[in-house]
C-alpha cells in the first residue's frame, strides 16, 4: 500500500473505530504526544484524546462520514490532510446531522505506520486555528 492510500485508510479507520466505540484501537491512530483542537480548546496526548473525545460519544448509535481527503506528502515521514466530514446522531426525532466541518491533520509515519500527530476540527465557516494550514489550492 502506498503512503497516500495508507493515509486514506487511517482517516477512514478514525471514523469507523470511533463510531464502533473501539477506543483502544482508535487511540492507536494517534501519536503518543498528539494534539486535538476543537470548539476553541485543545487537548494533548493520546490518553487525553481517547478520554475526552471517546467520552463525548453518545450511547445511541452515531456516524461520522468522511469524504475524500486532500493529502499533501511533505516528505517520506510527514504529510498534511484536509477531510470534510459530517457527523450524524440518533435523536428522539430520528437521525439528524450533528455537525459539519473539516479535519485539518498533520500526520507522521512512525514505525512504518501513519498516525495523526495533530488534528483540528474546524466547523463550517470557521478559520483553522494557528499552526494549521487552510486547504491547499492545488
- Set out the domains of the chain in order of their start, with CATH numbers: 3-123 (3.10.450.50)
Which pLDDT score, from 0 to 100, does residue 59 have? 83
Which pLDDT score, from 0 to 100, does residue 58 have? 79
pTM for the model: 0.93
Closest Cα to residue 117, out of 102, 127, 132? 132
**Band (123; pLDDT cuts 50, 70, 90):** very high
Which pLDDT score, from 0 to 100, does residue 138 have? 60
- The dihedral formed by the CA atoms of 99, 123, 132 and 55, expressed in degrees to the nearest 10: -40
In this prediction, residues 1-25 reach a mean pLDDT of 96
Which pLDDT score, from 0 to 100, does residue 57 have? 83
Q: 46-50, 57-61, 99-103: lowest mean pLDDT where?
A: 57-61
The rounded distance, in Å, linking the Cα atoms of 99 and 45 is 24
Amino acid at each position: 500500500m502506498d503512503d497516500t492510500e495508507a493515509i486514506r485508510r487511517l482517516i477512514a479507520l478514525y471514523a469507523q473505530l470511533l463510531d464502533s466505540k473501539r477506543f483502544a484501537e482508535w487511540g492507536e491512530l494517534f501519536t503518543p504526544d498528539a494534539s486535538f483542537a476543537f470548539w476553541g480548546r485543545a487537548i494533548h496526548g493520546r490518553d487525553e484524546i481517547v478520554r475526552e473525545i471517546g467520552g463525548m460519544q453518545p450511547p445511541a448509535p452515531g456516524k461520522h462520514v468522511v469524504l475524500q481527503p486532500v493529502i499533501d506528502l511533505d516528505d517520506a515521514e510527514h504529510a498534511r490532510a484536509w477531510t470534510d466530514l459530517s457527523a450524524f446522531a440518533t435523536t428522539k426525532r430520528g437521525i439528524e446531522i450533528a455537525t459539519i466541518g473539516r479535519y485539518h491533520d498533520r500526520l507522521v509515519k512512525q514505525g512504518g505506520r501513519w498516525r495523526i500527530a495533530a488534528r483540528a476540527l474546524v466547523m463550517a465557516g470557521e478559520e483553522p486555528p494557528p499552526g494549521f494550514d487552510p486547504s491547499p489550492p492545488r
